[in-house]
Amino acid sequence: MHDVGMDMNKEKYQRIALVVEFDGRNFHGWQKQDNARSVQGCLNDALATLEGHPVVTAAAGRTDAGVHAEALLTHADVSLARWQRSPRAYLHGCNSKLPDEIRVVGVRAVGADFHARFHCHGRAYRYQIWNRNTASALQRWRHWWMPRKINIELMQQAATYCLGEHDFSALRGAGCQAAHAEKNIRLLEVTQYEHCISIEVAANAFLYHMVRNLVGNLVEVGAGKRTPDDFALLLASGDRSLGAATAPARGLYFTNAFYEGFCSRELIGVQNERF
């Protein structure tokens, strides 16, 4: 079934993938809401203006209010004739209708049965921490400011306990609707360049608030409030109440979505992504 509420016999459609970049600070997350500004709502409206009828998009994942994205993959059904005339219409055309905080940065045709969420076999995020004794005037909405000195070597040691398939109930946010807490983290790296600490994480799927809860606990290790072994015991306990507070949304970025044969960052010209 197509996402648009149209008689599919009247006009032929092409399903396309659109890679979306956005600054999440002025949005109530990805998902369209009746009484709040959302990224999906703005993208649906831009596509509807181009198509001349309602269009509904679907994304690889939902982001919370304040979370950013560099390469969130979405899909939509659009006019086959317009797509064949000019695929760039769905790049530059959409961008001319979108607010400055949202940009379509890549497009490609996909099969009629492709689904951005259900066909996604992996997702990646980056979390950024500003580790300096003074906050940044330039990076205020891009990082979590952490004035206390952070030992990233301790964070790196703790991160190794997360690699592979585990029950991540200890990092599961309240209200999570996932059927189970077993996820497979395939990449988790903690690096630092000058004042910026970056935590890169990729997994087959994530629980609600899992990345932000992971970051909150790794920061406690880096700050010396618990040891890497304490972190391992926390994971084994499966008890979220024993963990650290959830890291703020503003430091989190959706960076990649993985599919059979391609990933979202490849559609914007970034190659050699690991997963």
Q: What is the DSSP string of 45-108?
A: HHHHHHHTS----EESS---TT-EEEEEEEEEEEEHHHHHH-GGGGTHHHHHHS-TTEEEEEEE
φ, ψ of residue 258 in degrees (nearest 5): -110, 135
Q: Which two tokens mark 12? A: 């032929």
φ, ψ of residue 20 in degrees (nearest 5): -115, 135
Amino acid symbol at 127: Y
If one counts every other C-beta atom within 10 angstroms of the C-beta of residue 225, the result is 12
Alpha carbons within 13 A on the beta-carbon side of 102: 28
Smallest Cα–Cα separation from 199: which of 274, 130, 126? 126
Catalytic, out of 23, 45, 64, 230: 64
Give catalytic status of residue 64 as yes or no.
yes
* Cα distance from N-terminal residue to C-terminal residue, the chain: 31
Smallest Cα–Cα separation from 59: which of 78, 72, 46, 44? 72
> In whole angstroms, what is the distance from residue 187 CA to residue 140 CA?
27
Catalytic residues: 64
